[in-house]
């Protein structure tokens, strides 16, 4: 069954390559500066599963995403391009984390980025949760629109759990002045998704879809807004369930020590 899914995914990649090439030819992101922020790095691995580190997956997706955004005409700022973070010697725990994030935010501001995309991968004790999801700050109208656009694209990946964009008060979203979103690209704790996140081709599809969401945000905001309304109307009960699920997961995340969307 999983092999069939991988074959379908491979076909999907082949079919969609020309579309990505067309979008790049039009350079829809010309004159835009986009900050891509690969979560964690260095001594901070993020979520860990055996020898699989979230920080590595975040960086791989971010680098591919940068390429797609540049192909579409954008100038891209990566907040890190290797296995490190920006904390300094002598700081520990939450202080080090806060320092690292503040340095990233300063970097984003100094380059006058038009928007920010933070990339993470989730992990929970409950193994059944799967699917990529995009978060935005509750007070950011533009952040919401960007998150809706990206989530709409992520939902088109074959076999992808159809999650919706959600609100979060995490540090990066609360402290950036320009529209910002946090993409949790999947759950390392889910065996099937963990396997997928090992395939460079799957990371490529994720990056391609995130980039397509950014293009859609700039080129078709009305369409994004309309689809967002339809999505919510058709999934009203599902939406309430997911808000409850998020509240439940907040506790679970905390116990697990990986809490990107809760305290960062
Ligand atoms: Zn993370």
pLDDT band at 251 (very low <50, low <70, confident <90, very high): very low
Residues of the chain with pLDDT > 90, as a percent, come to 73
**Choice between 215 and 263, residue whose per-residue pLDDT is larger:** 215
Residue 264 within a domain: no
Q: How many domains does the chain have?
A: 1
pLDDT at 254 over 50: no
pLDDT digits (tens, 9 = 90+) for 129-143: 999 999 999 999 999
Residue 2 covered by a domain: no
Q: What is the DSSP letter of 158?
A: T
The confidence score (pLDDT) of residue 26 equals: 77
Domain with 252 in it: what CATH number?
3.40.630.40
88 lies in a domain?
yes
CA of 80 to the centre of ligand 1 (A): 14
Query: Is 21 among the domain residues?
Result: no
Residue 162 lies in a domain: yes
pLDDT in tens, 52-92: 999 999 999 999 999 999 999 999 999 999 999 999 988 88
Q: Rounded to 5 degrees, what are φ and ψ at 259?
A: -140, 55
Distance (Å) from CA 85 to ligand 1 centroid: 13
CA distance 111 to 34: 9
Tell me the CA–centroid distance for residue 16 and ligand 1, in Å. Answer: 28
Structural domain for 47, as ranges: 28-256
Determine the Cα–Cα distance for residues 36 and 118; give it in Å rounded to an integer.
6
Sign of the CA dihedral with 195 first, then 192, 137, and 206 last: positive
Q: How far is the CA of 135 from the centre of ligand 1 (A)?
A: 13
Among 181, 185, 182, 176, residue whose Cα is nearest residue 143 = 181
Residue 106 CB contacts under 8 Å (≥ 6 apart), including other chains: none
Residue 77 in domain: yes
CA of 61 to the centre of ligand 1 (A): 13
pLDDT band at 157 (very low <50, low <70, confident <90, very high): very high
Residue 145 predicted with pLDDT over 80? yes
Does residue 256 register a pLDDT over 50?
A: no
Q: Which residue has the higher pLDDT, 6 or 50?
A: 50
Cα(207) to centroid(ligand 1), Å = 17
Tell me the mean pLDDT in the region 235-260: 45
Average pLDDT over the chain reads: 86
For residue 214, how far is its CA from the centre of ligand 1 (angstroms)? 21
Distance from the alpha carbon of residue 260 to the mean position of ligand 1, in angstroms:
5
> What pTM was estimated for this model as a whole?
0.84
Q: Could you tell me which residue, 232 or 204, shows the higher pLDDT? A: 204
Q: Tell me how far CA of residue 78 lies from CA of 34, 98, 105, in angstroms.
A: 9, 18, 11
Report the pLDDT value the prediction gives residue 146, as an integer from 0 to 100: 98
Give the confidence band of 121 by pLDDT, cuts at 50, 70, 90.
Answer: very high
For residue 2, the model assigns a pLDDT of: 55
Identify any residues that bridge with 116 across adjacent strands, giving them in sequence order: 35, 180
What are the pLDDT digits (tens) for 8-43?
566 565 555 545 555 445 799 999 999 999 999 999
Asked if the structure places residue 33 within a domain, the reply is yes
> Between residues 111 and 260, which one has the greater pLDDT?
111
Q: Distance from the CA of 108 to the center of ligand 1, in angstroms?
A: 19
In a domain, 199, yes or no: yes
What pLDDT was estimated at residue 248? 44
Tokens 């809490």 belong to: 259
| Residues β-bridged to residue 144 | none
Distance from the CA of 22 to the center of ligand 1, in angstroms? 32
């Amino acid at each position: 069954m999983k092999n069939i899914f991988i074959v379908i995914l491979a076909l999907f990649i082949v079919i969609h390559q020309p579309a990505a090439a067309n979008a790049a030819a039009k350079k829809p992101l010309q004159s835009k500066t986009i900050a891509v922020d690969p979560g964690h790095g260095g001594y901070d691995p993020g979520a860990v599963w055996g020898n699989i580190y979230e920080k590595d997956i975040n960086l791989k997706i971010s680098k591919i995403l940068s390429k797609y955004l540049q192909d579409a005409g954008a100038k891209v700022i990566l907040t890190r391009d290797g296995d490190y973070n920006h904390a300094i010697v002598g700081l520990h725990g939450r202080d080090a984390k806060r320092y690292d994030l503040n340095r990233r935010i300063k970097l984003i501001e100094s380059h006058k980025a038009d928007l920010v995309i933070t990339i993470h991968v989730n992990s929970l004790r409950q193994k059944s949760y799967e699917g990529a999801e995009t978060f935005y700050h509750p007070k950011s109208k533009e952040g919401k629109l960007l998150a809706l656009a990206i989530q709409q694209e992520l939902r088109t990946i074959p076999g992808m759990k159809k999650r919706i964009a959600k609100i979060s008060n995490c540090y990066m979203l609360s402290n950036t002045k320009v529209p910002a979103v946090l993409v949790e690209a999947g759950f390392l704790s889910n065996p099937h998704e963990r396997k997928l996140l090992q395939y460079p081709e799957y990371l490529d599809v994720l990056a391609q879809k995130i980039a397509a969401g950014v293009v859609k945000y700039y080129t078709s905001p009305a369409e994004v807004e309309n689809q967002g309304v339809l999505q919510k109307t058709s999934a009203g009960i599902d939406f309430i369930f997911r808000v409850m699920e998020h509240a439940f997961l907040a506790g679970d995340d905390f116990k697990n020590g990986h809490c990107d969307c809760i305290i960062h």
